[in-house]
Structure 1
Amino acid sequence: MKLIDNEYMTGFLKKCIFVFAILNAVLTVNGEAQSLKHPVIWVTAEERAGILENIEKYDWAKDLVNQLHERVDPALKIHETNPNAILNTIPAFAKHDRENSEQKAGPLAAGHNKVLALASEAGMLYYLTQNEKYAKFAADILGYYIDVIATKTPKTTTICGYEFFDPRTTYGPFALTYDFIYSYVKQPNATVYNKEKGVRIPFDNAKAQKAIANIVGNVLQEYGKPDQHGKFISNHPILTASGALFSILCIDNDAERERLFNVFWERGTAHQNSFKNTILPMFGEQGIWPESTSYSFMPIITMTLNIVDRVYPEMDVTKDYQHILYGNFLFDYLRHPNRKFVRFGDSKRNNDGTEDLYRYTLSIAERRGYSDLKLKAQMALKQAYDAKGGYKPKLDDGIFNNFQPLDLFWGQPIPDKIEKGINFNKPTVLVKHSGIALQRNLTETANELYGLTGIIGGAHYVHSHLTGISMELYGAGYIMAPNAGLPPSVKERQIPLHENYFRLYAGNNTVIVNGTSHGLDEGSWKGDAYVWQNTTKNIAAEPKHLENPVSENFSFATQFLKDEVNNCDQERTLSTIRTSDITAYYFDMFRSKSLDENKFHDYIYHNIGDETIIKNEKGNVLNLKQTDRYKNDIGDPVQSPGWRYFENTQVTEPIKEGVKVTFKINFDNRYMHMFVPKGVTRAYTKGLTPPTREAENDYLNKKTQLIAIRQTGEAWDKPFISIFEPSLNSESSVQSVESLMDGDKIVGAKVISIVEKNKIIDYIISQDTSDAIYNNKTLNLSFEGRFAIVRVEASKDRKKVSLYIGDGKKLNFEGFKLESNHQNKGFKVF
């Protein structure tokens, strides 16, 4: 046999290499040179068996599949006999992505999302059942959209005509549909129904890739300005991230897909900021997104980390962001006893992203072997499910970032019994970016009725309000004294009621200095909002953040604000003080002083209810006369401080007596009893303000009750002190309140309560430095430190004395002595 000589073989190999290179180039141009296997975005083909096993074994998984069938099958049946029926429901397409306002784009986005969500859910059923009728249905819808989008450019690509909506409402389900039915449409004989021609035609993947490239280009906007890494941004590029990432993972060409992913992850653009270099660095040490309560959940962050880690495991992206994964657990500490969230800034109480955060975290922890994180996520989910009577996931028609089916694909069984649990009821919780300190005192007896939770604080952040040091209080089943929150609709955020009242000082529970407290426009997260303020800082607390208390009855937190806008110093201390299983009260001390002239200070307090009654310490109702003292503003564009919205204001004469205010809630006979001790001349105004947002029962539509207390001069050495006792009874257990004096300086309060016929006297000392010394020879009481409580309980046959140091060194009372530990706290009962 004649062997092939080396020269001939070398030439032959060169020709083969050349032909292969040409073929590869052609395939690359046509978008076919790709190595990524679909589906890939949420799940892979290899994971299908495990998901089917879950469906077989667990009711929650079986129920989710049934819901998918209930949503898809009726439409599929119609489509099989009349392909135009579903396609005719697709709304018109906008011409470009800045054609519509947010309000006009909403209904259009909802209409398109309804059809695209149907397609994506059909794609999910194809993945689960392998029945091609679902893929065929999804492809027919997808083909309609491809025909429109493929003719555009990245600049002109849009569906609803608003660049902020499509990546959150339509681009995601478009990409998911393509991803789930990829194996079907890539078959040589795959066809789609063409509505214009009324016949089935071959699926054109090149056209699909052109449409996907346009979508990616529209979200990234590489044609715009570059990203500035480290820039402080809003949540917009997080909310649009899924529209970008999902679509990028549908790009066939390996090189182009990797380039686009690099733009998404590393380089970023001014419109879609770098996930790694701009978005993730904004998470502080606490690992939460630095906005208002309900905006902070941001489960898209954890979802994105999980997807990227699944597709690019070699990047190990979760390793450097453990603080974010652990930060996901902070929100459950921010619930009132009725499980609604505390509210600061533009926030809604009923928005709850905790379970998504836990499920996404659990998926990461399971795959990566993070055993501690896995157990914590399991415990948190178990507690969440138990709190609402089990895990019963429900698919809905929400259009924004609606990823509920992920519960099926990433959901994992939770053990029926978990020995440990997470105590989300810690007495002190700090949220640093918002300057918030939470104080909580719960009870095992009907906690929703008798537990206390309050927050104080304020700062500037995206979606913040201008509040100084605001306060919110819970009691007797209601958020009695609410922070302002967010209106139901986007449109209502633009009206003067929100911008000139709820967002400002007067719409919150705070202290206004000289009638002029205001914010700055420069630096505000929103243009023309005038809401920039300095950040309130925690200067003392017992227990510290998420630590255990030294006493079940006492805790406190003190927040300080160096207000450089209004040139004043303010300090607020909130303490929760329990006197029995069913009685407890708040101690609120607000110090405030202008560093210029101290003309007057106004203590503003809102309480839900039907009636406000103001009595003196003798129990006589005080005379009132109409006043227009709050019908003014400083003349800035937002009418600061915002109190023009006070209605029917009636004021007392200035009095030095102690005052008791009762707020009556007629719906179910609840009360808030408020005590102000004597000793400082003040005028008390009662009035009405706009209804409380998200209020319970009838109070969503009723005017909110108002008390405004005006004090001439400074309020630092003579601070505002208020005792608040929420109650189911018309008579309070608190009987009287007196100021504790250190010369001419007020340093606390003596509170007398009668509980089950026993007399309880609390001497509450709250000084303005950690090394202050207080001596009261009359009471035989001395204290070195910032905060302490002496409790004397007297019954017929005994006297019990409790000494509590929240922040200090030594506390002596009638010969009883307590020295603090190395953390400057202590508690002892004699």
Structure 2
Amino acid sequence: MFKKSIILKILIIVQIVLFQSVQAQSLKHPVIWVTEDEREAILDKIENYDWAKSVVNQLHERVDPALKIHETNPNAILNTIPDFAKHDRENSEQKASPLAAKHNKVLALASEAGMLYYLTQQEKYAQFAADILGYYVDVIAPKTPQTTTICGYEFFDPRTTYGPFALTYDFIYNYVKQPNATVYNKEKGVRIPFNNAKAQKAIANIVGNVLQEYGKPDKHGKTISNHPILTASGALFSILCVDDDFERNRLFHVFWEEGTAHQNSFKNTILPMFGEQGIWPESLSYSFMSIITLTLNIVDRVYPEMNVTKDYQHIFNGNFLFDYLRYPNRKFVRYGDSKRNNDSTEDLYRYTLSIAERRDYTDLKQKSQIALRQAYDTKGGYQPELDDNIFNNFQPLDLFWGQPVPEKIEGGINFNKPTVIIKHAGVALQRNFVEKDNEIYGLCGIIGGAHYVHSHVTGIAMELYGAGYVMGPNAGLPATVAERKIPLHENYFRLYAGNNTVVVNGTSHGLDEGSWKGGAYVWQNTTVNIASEPKHLEDPISENFSFATQFLKDEVNNCDQERTLSTIRTSDKTAYYFDMFRSKSLDENKFHDYIYHNIGDETIIKNEKGQVLSLTETNSYKTDIGDLVQSPGWRYFENTQVTKPTKEAVKVTFKIAYNDKYMHMFVPKGVERAYTKALTPPTREAENGYVTKKTQLLAIRQNGEAWDTPFVTVFEPSTKSESSVQSIEPLMDGAKIVGAKVVSKVEALTITDYIISQDKSNAVYINKALKLNFEGRFAIVRVEESKGKKTTSLYIGEGKKINFEDHSLESDSQNKAFKSF
């Protein structure tokens, strides 16, 4: 073992030496974001483009007033620097955050002054930045890597303070290396020579503190959280400030190849977690991870011979997947601990465009330009803004890496594809887009669930958009870090009952073992897509129909579940969702509960005759299984009122009083069920004040299994109190429910849809009364009648052939087909 260790160390040293042989023996500063050779091109950009001028003007607005004060009273700005923590585990996240914000404000001021020095070559900016830098050098240099810290929380400094420290040094390096360079010493009240050796010691401490080579080694190939990505800039920026060539390249080798338990290998641990889809496998708002593209760009600029951009094209292409996950109002779908209002796509596109321009990646360049143009046009132009977000010290890259985007670009990206599959999250998206007023009349929903970092335990959850709102929301993430630890989040939003799903036998839960967070009990199996039309990001065969089916082999709760979501359009202004949820316990099937949340002010439950069903109070949902998180989480249901069990068809209307929008929900007759309406905690990130109002809830309880007699529901979001959907009936195959007949009335047109959704791809359905035969999983027969005229359409989403009356249709080689008669 000892000999192997010696040999390994020798090989690493040889590799570093060989690596250095193709490198210049010293880096020229600045180097992290830009080089001196790029300055003229950046000045031309500022001269020719208003957006570039705007960034420079904002830099002046942020720096110049402080600089003016500093020139007459150097202590004024330095006195705003708060105390330093004693070590990097001194503070909790909550205590470290305000301290980091105060330090970041001063260090960002220094780095921005350094940027202005680079742009203007005026030494007053360099001197201002150097005076702030010198103060931090004096404090940090005497420490060791183990004791180095600023805010006292090892996860915060590399994200908030170490980055601007390194950028400041990088931008003013040539100024402070002058023989006569001085910095103001606050303690002595005089100017003293800048001590670069001391600065190098401080940088070594910072790098050592981030890498933590004194800790455990990295284990390549393991699954990790996003922490070493978020801290990567603090490590890489600082490494590039190390003067000694051998040490700098050794440290870069640790950062890139070797890694540590704290700062995992970028190449061998972090990047392999990007699957074939090229996105970071977490909840959506955690998945952007623009620091990945930023880091790859910097590494490629400094070490071009490594050619890293060639090896990770799937990640750059994955950057464009997020725009396919927007609702018609451009907010994002939400699964797991996610925020639908977070949006880092433009950073991803700008960083990717910078790479594409330099490396002449024509396809990536066109995609980036198209995506940016569409984003800019949506917002009325490109207007970059600098702010004080302590976790985003990269905003000036809009200037340094930003590229002009043509007003008109050949080609385009259609982000309105009907089907999007996110494999790691087990999520399938279904969308139906309309050209006019899509924000009001477009449909978009998701179904799915899986275990991943920042996941919830939901089974196959559903989220639905309609009429300008995310009407049926998944739980998402609270506004503050502190709220993530309260029972409301851990015992409700994170669990089944906080999402739109089906609970089996009242006991659906997750496991603690294997969970990304200890004590969360959120481990579940991954839902997989078993069928869809169209396939992922492909074009549909019909503008009116699409579907996706997700399957979950739930080994935690020993049950099988399958959910099909279809978007079905009946006119430019009317459409509905078809949702079929099959579920069965592989043990005893006691009962199943279909859980659905809808924002709004009122829930009205009627029978097929239009009569409001009477309700009585119930305590059926005041139970849990006795685990630490009170699974399945429905103790948070309030004012629970239940109907008598009924086999009748039921219509439920959720009313949004703010601007008279509605969700009409239909359940066919045939299976005895009890309907409970309740109130639940307010929906996170809801629009128009519903973020503070209780959310409406409907729970449907069905005794026994729900596989042969699945939950079948139709949802029609609408601007009208009366739905276009008139009725829904089950399609039966003996005692088995295989779909629904949905009748809609759109002005003078009566539309009857026969929706067949079977649980096998080779299943056969024969309905002699309707003269309907179908072999396959999913199909729709549409009959439109108006003024004595009749049109029939046949759609095979997955199957072999379908016959209806005197019409027939066979599928193509991909088992899909569409035809109107």
TM-score (norm 2): 0.97
Helix, strand or coil for the counterpart of 2:255?
A: helix
More divergent stretch after superposition (328-337 vs 359-368) = 359-368
d(CA) in 2 for partners of 1:198, 1:784: 88
Structure 1 residue 797, shift from structure 2 partner: 3.6
User: Conserved in 1, the CA contact under 8 Å of 2:279 and 2:319?
Assistant: yes
d(CA) in 2 for partners of 1:348, 1:79: 40
Structure 2 residue 251 is the aligned partner of structure 1 residue 260: yes
d(CA) in 1 for partners of 2:762, 2:733: 15
Q: Which residue number in structure 2 is paired with residue 737 of structure 1?
A: 728
d(CA) in 1 for partners of 2:467, 2:351: 35
Structure 2 residue 315 is the aligned partner of structure 1 residue 315: no
Residue deviations 1:160-198 (CA, integer Å, cap 9, x gap): 000000000000000000000001000000000000000
Structure 2 residue 210 is the aligned partner of structure 1 residue 180: no
Structure 2 residue 338 is the aligned partner of structure 1 residue 347: yes
Q: Which residue number in structure 2 is paired with residue 212 of structure 1?
A: 203
Give unpaired runs (5+ residues) of structure 1. Answer: 1-32
Residue deviations 1:550-589 (CA, integer Å, cap 9, x gap): 0000000000000000000000000000000000000000
1:584 to 575, 578, 599: 575
User: Conserved in 2, the CA contact under 8 Å of 1:138 and 1:177?
Assistant: yes
Letter in 1 for 2:570: T
Residue deviations 1:676-697 (CA, integer Å, cap 9, x gap): 0000000000000000000001
Q: Which residue number in structure 1 is paired with residue 679 of structure 2?
A: 688
Structure 2 residue 94 is the aligned partner of structure 1 residue 103: yes
Structure 1 residue 378, shift from structure 2 partner: 0.8
Structure 2 residue 67 is the aligned partner of structure 1 residue 79: no
Q: Which residue number in structure 1 is paired with residue 656 of structure 2?
A: 665
User: Conserved in 2, the CA contact under 8 Å of 1:219 and 1:243?
Assistant: yes
Q: Which residue number in structure 2 is paired with residue 556 of structure 1?
A: 547
Structure 1 residue 415, shift from structure 2 partner: 1.3
Helix, strand or coil for the counterpart of 2:424?
A: helix
Helix, strand or coil for the counterpart of 1:433?
A: coil
Structure 1 residue 417, shift from structure 2 partner: 1.2
User: Conserved in 2, the CA contact under 8 Å of 1:34 and 1:252?
Assistant: no
d(CA) in 1 for partners of 2:292, 2:345: 13
Letter in 2 for 1:558: T
Residue deviations 1:581-640 (CA, integer Å, cap 9, x gap): 000000000000000000000000000000000000000000100000100100001000
2:715 to 720, 724, 732: 724
Letter in 2 for 1:113: N
Q: Which residue number in structure 2 is paired with residue 783 of structure 1?
A: 774
Residue deviations 1:356-389 (CA, integer Å, cap 9, x gap): 1111111111111111111111111111111111
Structure 2 residue 269 is the aligned partner of structure 1 residue 270: no
Q: Which residue number in structure 1 is paired with residue 11 of structure 2?
A: none
Structure 1 residue 34, shift from structure 2 partner: 5.8
Q: Which residue number in structure 2 is paired with residue 369 of structure 1?
A: 360
Q: Which residue number in structure 1 is paired with residue 40 of structure 2?
A: 49
Letter in 1 for 2:755: I
d(CA) in 1 for partners of 2:392, 2:280: 17
Q: Which residue number in structure 1 is paired with residue 4 of structure 2?
A: none
2:432 to 432, 437, 441: 441
d(CA) in 2 for partners of 1:125, 1:483: 45
d(CA) in 1 for partners of 2:608, 2:532: 32
User: Conserved in 2, the CA contact under 8 Å of 1:808 and 1:825?
Assistant: yes
Q: Which residue number in structure 1 is paired with residue 694 of structure 2?
A: 703
Helix, strand or coil for the counterpart of 1:318?
A: helix
Structure 2 residue 479 is the aligned partner of structure 1 residue 451: no
d(CA) in 1 for partners of 2:25, 2:538: 52
Letter in 2 for 1:737: I
Structure 2 residue 615 is the aligned partner of structure 1 residue 615: no
Q: Which residue number in structure 2 is paired with residue 16 of structure 1?
A: none
**Pairing of 1:246-645 with structure 2 (within 5 A):** 246-645=237-636
Give unpaired runs (5+ residues) of structure 2. Answer: 1-23
User: Conserved in 2, the CA contact under 8 Å of 1:383 and 1:421?
Assistant: no
Structure 1 residue 428, shift from structure 2 partner: 0.2
Q: Which residue number in structure 1 is paired with residue 227 of structure 2?
A: 236
1:821 to 803, 812, 815: 812
Structure 1 residue 787, shift from structure 2 partner: 0.2
d(CA) in 1 for partners of 2:715, 2:360: 48
Q: Which residue number in structure 1 is paired with residue 138 of structure 2?
A: 147
d(CA) in 2 for partners of 1:123, 1:579: 60
d(CA) in 2 for partners of 1:566, 1:121: 55
User: Conserved in 1, the CA contact under 8 Å of 2:223 and 2:273?
Assistant: yes
d(CA) in 1 for partners of 2:748, 2:84: 73
Letter in 2 for 1:80: E
User: Conserved in 2, the CA contact under 8 Å of 1:672 and 1:724?
Assistant: yes
d(CA) in 2 for partners of 1:685, 1:592: 19
d(CA) in 2 for partners of 1:539, 1:442: 23
User: Conserved in 2, the CA contact under 8 Å of 1:752 and 1:759?
Assistant: yes
d(CA) in 2 for partners of 1:435, 1:694: 23
Residue deviations 1:317-339 (CA, integer Å, cap 9, x gap): 11111100100000000000000
d(CA) in 2 for partners of 1:738, 1:86: 73
d(CA) in 2 for partners of 1:591, 1:647: 27
Letter in 2 for 1:713: G
d(CA) in 2 for partners of 1:476, 1:317: 45
Task: Note the aligned Cα RMSD (angstroms).
Answer: 0.6
User: Conserved in 2, the CA contact under 8 Å of 1:193 and 1:199?
Assistant: yes
d(CA) in 1 for partners of 2:569, 2:222: 45
Task: Calculate percent identity across the aligned residue pairs.
Answer: 83
Structure 2 residue 154 is the aligned partner of structure 1 residue 163: yes
**Pairing of 1:797-808 with structure 2 (within 5 A):** 797-808=788-799
Q: Which residue number in structure 2 is paired with residue 650 of structure 1?
A: 641
Structure 1 residue 762, shift from structure 2 partner: 0.3
User: Conserved in 1, the CA contact under 8 Å of 2:164 and 2:393?
Assistant: no
User: Conserved in 2, the CA contact under 8 Å of 1:38 and 1:179?
Assistant: yes
User: Conserved in 2, the CA contact under 8 Å of 1:765 and 1:788?
Assistant: yes
User: Conserved in 1, the CA contact under 8 Å of 2:647 and 2:671?
Assistant: yes
Number of residue pairs aligned between Structure 1 and Structure 2: 798
Letter in 2 for 1:594: S
d(CA) in 2 for partners of 1:475, 1:102: 38
User: Conserved in 2, the CA contact under 8 Å of 1:185 and 1:191?
Assistant: yes
Residue deviations 1:795-820 (CA, integer Å, cap 9, x gap): 00410000000000101111101100
Letter in 1 for 2:461: S
Q: Which residue number in structure 2 is paired with residue 37 of structure 1?
A: 28
Q: Which residue number in structure 2 is paired with residue 65 of structure 1?
A: 56
Helix, strand or coil for the counterpart of 1:234?
A: coil
1:196 to 182, 187, 200: 187
Q: Which residue number in structure 1 is paired with residue 12 of structure 2?
A: none
User: Conserved in 2, the CA contact under 8 Å of 1:436 and 1:458?
Assistant: yes
d(CA) in 1 for partners of 2:25, 2:742: 75
Q: Which residue number in structure 1 is paired with residue 665 of structure 2?
A: 674
d(CA) in 2 for partners of 1:757, 1:110: 62
d(CA) in 2 for partners of 1:208, 1:696: 50
Structure 1 residue 653, shift from structure 2 partner: 0.7
Structure 1 residue 87, shift from structure 2 partner: 0.4
d(CA) in 2 for partners of 1:522, 1:401: 34
Helix, strand or coil for the counterpart of 2:560?
A: strand
2:108 to 109, 117, 123: 117
d(CA) in 2 for partners of 1:420, 1:75: 47
User: Conserved in 1, the CA contact under 8 Å of 2:108 and 2:393?
Assistant: no
Helix, strand or coil for the counterpart of 1:219?
A: helix
Bigger Rg, which one: 1
Q: Which residue number in structure 1 is paired with residue 84 of structure 2?
A: 93
d(CA) in 2 for partners of 1:45, 1:579: 60
Letter in 2 for 1:686: K
Structure 1 residue 452, shift from structure 2 partner: 0.3
User: Conserved in 2, the CA contact under 8 Å of 1:779 and 1:814?
Assistant: yes
Q: Which residue number in structure 2 is paired with residue 773 of structure 1?
A: 764
